[in-house]
């Protein structure tokens, strides 16, 4: 039975979302912040999936524990699907959410709203000390707003507009976001997988 899940991240807000989505599972959730002297992970994958697998596999092998690696970001059609895997560091070495949002808005300044279609993508890889167990993905489509709106969430949430509500994730808050976001969709699959894995380990005759 799984007793601990290590989430390969130091992003506190991302960790909070993941804990919320897996809150009913009966094990302890830790992160990279709970361990010292871990190997450095260079996120040099060309896709979210590659980065998620690298994070998960590296930490799982080093700690010998059940580990989850997640990579997600924003793809804007008018920008050739940028920022993509560079979403977190889009504005340079000292990137912040605010700087990333402002850079994106500046690049789209002359693009009309109807052509500002975008997609959030989340890829999650689950590994143990023996290797990769599964990869799960979720997407959420929206439009890039003309300015930052709302105080909820993180990353590009203040400019990611959901047409159905005519509000950004930054305005909608967790109650709605957690029912439709890219991360939510991916973690529904992760949760079901983990539950199935635990049942198999409790009943090895069914393997």
DSSP element (H, E) containing 181: none
For residue 24, indicate whether it is catalytic.
no
What does the DSSP assignment read for 120-157? Answer: EEEEEEEEETTEEEEEEEEEEEEEE-SS---SSSSTTG
- Which of the residues 44, 71, 128, 157 is marked catalytic? 71
What does the DSSP assignment read for 6-59? Answer: EE----HHHHHHHHHHTTTSSSEEEEGGG-SSPPP-----SSHHHHHHHHHHHH
d(C-alpha 124, C-alpha 20), whole Å: 16
What does the DSSP assignment read for 69-130? Answer: EEEEEEEEGGGTTEEGGGGGGTT-TT--HHHHHHHHHHHTTTS-GGG-EEEEEEEEEEEETT
Q: Which residues are catalytic?
A: 71
């Amino acid at each position: 039975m799984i007793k601990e899940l290590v989430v390969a991240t130091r992003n506190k807000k991302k960790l909070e979302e993941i804990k919320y989505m897996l809150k009913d599972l009966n094990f302890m959730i830790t992160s990279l912040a709970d361990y010292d002297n871990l190997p450095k992970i260079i996120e040099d994958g060309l896709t979210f999936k590659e980065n998620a697998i690298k994070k998960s596999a590296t930490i799982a092998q080093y700690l010998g524990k059940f580990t989850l690696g997640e990579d997600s970001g924003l793809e804007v059609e008018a920008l050739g699907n940028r920022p993509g895997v560079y979403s977190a560091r889009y504005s340079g070495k000292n990137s912040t959410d605010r700087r990333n949002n402002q850079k994106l808005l500046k690049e789209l300044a002359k693009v009309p709203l109807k052509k500002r279609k975008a997609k959030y993508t989340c890829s999650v890889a689950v590994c143990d000390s023996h290797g990769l167990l599964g990869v799960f993905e979720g997407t959420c489509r929206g439009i890039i707003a003309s300015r930052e709106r709302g105080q909820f969430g993180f990353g590009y949430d203040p400019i990611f507009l959901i047409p159905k509500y005519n509000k950004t994730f930054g305005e909608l808050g967790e109650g709605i976001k957690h029912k439709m976001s890219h991360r939510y969709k991916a973690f529904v699959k992760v949760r079901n997988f983990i539950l199935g894995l635990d049942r198999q380990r409790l009943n090895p005759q069914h393997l």
